[in-house]
Structure 1
Amino acid sequence: MKLKISWILGAVIAFIVFAVVYMPAIQVVGRVNLPKNIAFSSVEGTLFQGSAQTVIVNGLPINNVKWQLNPFYMLIGKLHLELKAGNLRDKNEIAFNGPISTGLFDQSQISTEQFTVYLPVDRVLAQVRLPLPVNAGGRFKVQLDELHFGPTCHALSGKGDWLNATVAGTQGPIDFGSYSAKLRCQGDDIAIEVSEPNLLGLSMDAVVAPNLKKVQVTGKFKPDASLPDEVHQASRIFGKPDQSGYISIKL
């Protein structure tokens, strides 16, 4: 009798496991109350290995999203996904690749290592409240060596690049080259440290609140002589150059 019960329990557990593993992802997405700022379209595959043609987050479309969910992490109360999205070669697309971990029952905190993301500059700036309006182009590339975040910054190390930076000028886009930055936590906020060399002669430290609603910037810059006159003229908005030709920034 005990042997029969064991076989029955084993069969029930096996059925539940297979049902979850092969559950169509669209069935789960259709029944979950997603936040209002997140929407899925054309979901295919299973809960553990699937894809979505488009995921919209805060009005930003992310195309060709694919995921793999590791079931073993669920045994210790975590979700661990390998994510891939977008086209890394398309400058107009959001693209990323790497692992994400969060809680099985509480997704307020996330962590990752060796995660790479590409973001169109114009779309990112549209989400940030800047002290001055900026019409800029190019692409942000972020390489996260380590991140523990939510709802504030707990640990962060990595590098950010502004590739093929352009800013709208009176005669058309102005090429500002590329810029590199180091990423870290500054208390609860995210800090971005930019160093020379670059065409703007820019070195600065920017601190961004987790909700992107507050930005503080301190630093200095000295535009390269090769940049158009309108850049040098516009730089005087920030004040007069010092004896070394640098203009201070404090926003």
Structure 2
Amino acid sequence: MQTHEDINCIIIEDESPAASVLQMHIARFPFLKLLGTFSSCTKALPVLNSEKIDLVFLDINLPGVPGIQFASIIKTTTGIIFTTAYSEYAVQGFELNAVDYLLKPISFERFSKAINRYLTLYQHNSFVLPTIDKVDARPFVFVKCDRKMVKIFLDDILYLEAQRNCLLIYTENEVYRSYQAISEMEEKLPDTLFIRVHRSFIIALDKVKAYNNSYVVIQDKQIPIGRMYSDVINSTLKANVK
């Protein structure tokens, strides 16, 4: 249920890493309520028709119906912030009265300016933006756990383990349970810091204490190395483990 402090928004983005960045940025704004992330305009249409959507983050290059074409059928009371990797579409975006046009990769500072522009154009004058200079310098991800987005610092992560229908994220102090696929999480994590060693495990390279051809050791946990990963793992660990 929407309160006076909610601005309902959705993401229409077919690239998982780009969608994850938008989700992380949105999670920093208490008044932005994300009602869904969709990989195509067709999939987003039922929500746009059934819910009061105030703001859409719309990729221009989408499978099926392009974002530029889809924007023309979105209600004028709904703000549109275009996202794309191609700057040549900017003029078309603004011709459609878009709130803003964000070029990937989207920084938090640039995202914040777009939200401020939306608040001004749509006369939401009571909202306070997060202070950019207070953003923590440590890299992190937001992960959906127990119906909320949880901030997890990358340097706290030891390893991740897929178990049946859930994903366990082991950190220095606790274990987080999420219901996203391990492959989806793999896309969010920088490959300079993390590596997939098994179909069920991703490890933090700097947390490895020892290894052989069959497993790696993190704290007291022996994590198996899958056969299809062994060659890449061995060469990577030789280069990274001191």
The structure carrying a bigger strand percent of its residues is 1
The structure carrying a bigger helix percent of its residues is 2
Q: Would you say same fold, with TM above 0.5?
A: no
Return the structure number with greater relative CO, CA threshold 8 A, min gap 6. 2
Class of the TM-score when normalised by the shorter of the 2 chains: under 0.3
TM-score, scaled to structure 2: 0.23
